[in-house]
Amino acid sequence: MSAGEAVAGPDGAPRCPWALSTADYVTYHDEEWGRAVHGDVALFERLSLEAFQSGLSWITILRRREGFRAAFAGFSIPEVAAFTDADRERLLGDAGIIRNRAKIDATLANARVLAGWAPGELDELIWSHAPDPAGRPAPKTLADVPAVTPESTALSKALKKRGLRFVGPTTAYALMQACGLVNDHLSRCVTRSAL
C-alpha cells in the first residue's frame, strides 16, 4: 500500500487517511464531507467556516462549529448582515470561535453583500462551478487530490467580483470538496461509493 491510500478505520472499512486521526473526523468524513450541500444559509455557513479554517487545522473549526453557529445567529444572512459594532466586539471576545479580526470582518462584510442577493443566488453561483465528474478520475492517494483547480479559481474570481472576501482559490476548493461539488474521497474509500 502506498502512502496516502485509503486505510482501514475502526470498523475495518477503508477510509481516507485524514479521517482517522479523531472520532470527530470519522463522523465528519462519513456523514458530511463530500455530500451535496444546498441552500444559501448552509452555503454561507460553510463558506464562512472554510475562511476561518484558513491557516488552521479543520479539526479546530469542526470542534467549534456549534460556537460559530451560536455566535453568528445560525448563519442567518439577514441577521449577520445586521450585526453592529457591538456585535463585532462581542465576536472578538468570544472564546467559542476563532477570534481573528480579519476573518470576523470578512464574515460580516460577506453577509452584508449576500443580503442584497436574490434567494438561491449564492447556491446557484457556487453550484454553477461544479466540474463534470466524468472528467475527473477518482484519486487513489492523497497526492492525487489537488488544493486548487481551474474551477475553484473561477469560483474564487466570481465570488470576489461580486464583493465577497476571504474566498481565495484554495478556500473555494475546500468548499467544493466539503459541499459535494467534487468527490475527493479516495477510490478505495467506503464513503466514496455511498455518494
Hey, which residues are catalytic here?
28, 50, 58
Three-state DSSP at 191 gives coil
Backbone angles phi, psi at 190, to 5 degrees: -60, -30
CA dihedral 163, 166, 167, 173 (to 10 degrees): -170
CA distance linking residue 193 with residue 183, whole number of Å:
10
| Residue indicated by cell numbers 473555494 | 172
CB 34 within 8 A of CB 57: no
> 92: which 3 cell numbers?
472578538
Q: Where is 83: in which H helix or E strand?
A: none
Q: How far is CA 194 from CA 27, 33, 43, 162, in A?
A: 14, 12, 22, 35
CA distance linking residue 155 with residue 101, whole number of Å:
24
On the 0-12 / 13-18 / 19+ scale of CB atoms within 10 A, 174 is buried
